[in-house]
Homo-oligomer: A and B are copies of this chain.
Amino acid sequence: MEIVPYYNVSIKGGFWKKWQDVDCMTTSRALYDQFYETGRIPAMDLDWKDGMPNRPHVFWDSDVAKWIEGACYCLRVRPDKELEGLVEAVIDRIEKGQAEDGYFNSVYLTFHQKPFTDRTEHELYTAGHLIEAAVAHHEATGSRRFLDMMCRFADLIEKVFVIDASAPYSTPGHQELELALIRLYEASGEKRYLELSRHFVEERGRDKRDRVFSVPNGTWPANPPLKNQLLYNDTYAQDDRPARELEKAGGHAVRAMYFYSAMADIAKYYDDKELLEAAQRLYDDEVRHKMYVTGGISAERYGEAIGTDYVLPNALSYAETCASVAMANFAYRLFGLTHDGKYCDMIEHQMYNGALVGLSMKGDTFYYDNALECRVAVSDFFAGINAKPLYPAYQRQKVFECSCCPPNIFRFIASLGRFFYSYDDSTIWINQYAEGSAQVDGVLISQETSYPYDGRIWINFGSSTHKTVAVRIPRWCTSYSLTVDGKAVDARVEKGYAYITGGIKEGASIVLDFELPVVQLSAHPDVVDATGRVALSRGPLVYTIEGVDNPGLDLFRVSIPAGELDWKLVDKEIEGHSVKGLTFKAMYESVDGYEEVLYKPYGIKREEVEVTAIPYFAWSNRGANDMTVWMRKL
């Protein structure tokens, strides 16, 4: 299955046009400015000296690289001389600093440290992001300048880790390079990069020297800093056993997702069914046992990690933006290998919820970790005693000390088109829906729709095709109609796709119409933090209630009535985005009887109130507000 690249998919209106505008016009600059001001971009000059502010940090290259990558996606589809100039100037800095042997890491070079001596320092992680940026730059500009630079770096890595095997460890401390090398192979055609990626994927979990996250000397430190406790574990960096033997999704969520993605890629290029099965097993374990209803996949704040089955705290969630982006990328690889729509459902879920919530609607502030519940008074209390990391921030930040998430959501949205279409010799898959057009293996396809707020999608063919056309029927959809040129079609539905056979004529239209009721979602009963509660969704959007829309109401006293919800859509404008909110009849719990006590015999009085919900991604764009995704269900 081939993927239609993002630059052959033009998003021309509606929901994602607005987001891509914000992303490429505002986010691109906001990130550059922050990365400049915080010293990240200047650090590429390798001239930082003691006493200067902004001491370079070992992760910074990856921040800059992801910014370049995202900016290149923007540039390819919307020429922007200013942005292009910024990108080239940053690459100039890197080019100037790159060592003779191809090595680049701004911290190691600035401080004249010996490369590849400490697996925890993540030079291979930042290398991976630089390589991804170079591939994006090549794709966007046609120039081989940055690509060639990074080929030299990759060659050096091959020499050190395979040919000479001279480093004191075998595999990256933080995965990323593995999947980057596959992209480098795809861009360059050099199979040795694919081989090198396979080497890292296969070697992982085999070399005892790599277990830097293991218990030091075989015994736990008596009192490890709590924050680091999760680090003292073989499973933290997916180091405990070879990839194909991994049974459960676990450890640092981003490392996990990046690694599983590379596993899927290697399975593809080497037709390795066992490795594919392992990747699918890990995906299923994550989705069935460890994922938030919003798509967040790292429940554990300590260690930014995937936790254990059913432990999904709402206010203490982590649900890192990066991990949601990475989950979408992982899912797309599995889709390519299985044609199973559940993976594109996941991409959609992350697009609209888990990943998107990481970016403000204005485009210039971010969430790293994403709460499913926020109480301003609680957050203020814990912030006041400097325990802020324990409870959610109700305001997005411009930049973080470790600022991986902002450029990750930036590049994700800028390249979103790549998730829309794929094809092989006999079939075209239409995976995602948005106003726009695409060249799909020579076939011109356009979509007219107000999706996701409206379920009707006109898919128009500007040229004919003999191929079967498969349109995704999302799992959340229980009722829909499908016509081709106005005639109902009884298309075979398999693994989440309706397959329309017999070819499509030029000028023909497929019309999909998904019913979009509000659905009350319940969680598996072992998800204790959702006991007796429901979350609202409509189409792919998870909804939430936020204080600003519900003045005078304590959100935690709101209950969803028994039976169907009595709801209607309401138009909202938030920071220039048109959003469909929901208003619905809810019940509001009295606190009579709790004046003297916190607990009393059951017997709750409630009155009817009208409550407004908004899409989850849209919360925290209008000041400090309480918020909750889960609501009590009567």
Residues on A facing B (Cβ under 8 Å): 215, 220, 224-227, 229-230, 232-233, 235-236, 284, 287-291, 293, 302, 307-311, 313-316, 342, 373, 375, 377-378, 381-382, 384-387, 389-390, 475, 478, 519-529, 531-535, 554, 556-557, 589, 591, 594-604, 628, 630, 632-633
A327 to B229 Cα, complex, angstroms = 33
Contact between A232 and B532, CB atoms less than 8 A apart: no
A556 to B528 Cα, complex, angstroms = 7
**Among candidates B310, B315, B386, residue contacting A232 with C-beta atoms closer than 8 Å:** B386
Contact partners of A302 in chain B: CB under 8 A: 387, 390
Contact partners of A314 in chain B: CB under 8 A: 528
Contact partners of A598 in chain B: CB under 8 A: 287-291, 293, 523-524, 527
Contact between A523 and B599, CB atoms less than 8 A apart: yes
A225 to B221 Cα, complex, angstroms = 15
Contact partners of A229 in chain B: CB under 8 A: 385-387
Q: List 25 A-B contacts (CB under 8 A).
A: A225-B227, A226-B227, A226-B387, A229-B386, A232-B386, A235-B385, A284-B596, A288-B597, A288-B598, A302-B387, A308-B377, A308-B378, A309-B377, A310-B375, A313-B313, A475-B597, A522-B601, A524-B591, A525-B554, A526-B591, A528-B556, A528-B628, A529-B529, A531-B531, A531-B632
Q: A521-B601, A527-B598 are in contact. Are A311 and B378 (CB under 8 A)?
A: yes
Give 7 A-B pairs besides A232-B386, A531-B533 with Cβ atoms closer than 8 angstroms.
Answer: A230-B387, A288-B594, A288-B598, A293-B598, A310-B375, A521-B601, A535-B599
Contact partners of A315 in chain B: CB under 8 A: 528
Contact between B519 and A531, CB atoms less than 8 A apart: no
Q: Tell me the minimal C-beta distance from A321 to chain B in angstroms.
A: 20
A520 to B601 Cα, complex, angstroms = 5
Contact partners of A521 in chain B: CB under 8 A: 599-602
A151 to B486 Cα, complex, angstroms = 99
A124 to B464 Cα, complex, angstroms = 88
Q: A528-B556, A531-B533, A534-B602 are in contact. Are A389 and B226 (CB under 8 A)?
A: yes
Contact partners of A600 in chain B: CB under 8 A: 521-522
Q: A307-B381, A308-B382 are in contact. Are A373 and B523 (CB under 8 A)?
A: no
Contact partners of A601 in chain B: CB under 8 A: 478, 519-522
Contact partners of A224 in chain B: CB under 8 A: 386
Contact partners of A519 in chain B: CB under 8 A: 601-602
Contact partners of A235 in chain B: CB under 8 A: 385
A468 to B553 Cα, complex, angstroms = 49
Taking CB as reference atom, which chain B residue is nearest A291? B598
Contact partners of A316 in chain B: CB under 8 A: 313, 316
Q: Tell me the minimal C-beta distance from A580 to chain B in angstroms.
A: 20
Contact partners of A531 in chain B: CB under 8 A: 531-533, 556, 630, 632
Contact partners of A385 in chain B: CB under 8 A: 229-230, 232-233, 235-236
Q: Tell me the minimal C-beta distance from A565 to chain B in angstroms.
A: 10
A478 to B593 Cα, complex, angstroms = 14
Q: A233-B385, A308-B381, A309-B377 are in contact. Are A597 and B287 (CB under 8 A)?
A: yes
A127 to B500 Cα, complex, angstroms = 84
Q: Tell me the minimal C-beta distance from A210 to chain B in angstroms.
A: 18
Q: Tell me the minimal C-beta distance from A607 to chain B in angstroms.
A: 13
10 closest A-B pairs by CB: A532-B532, A308-B381, A520-B602, A233-B385, A525-B557, A524-B594, A525-B589, A522-B602, A229-B387, A226-B226
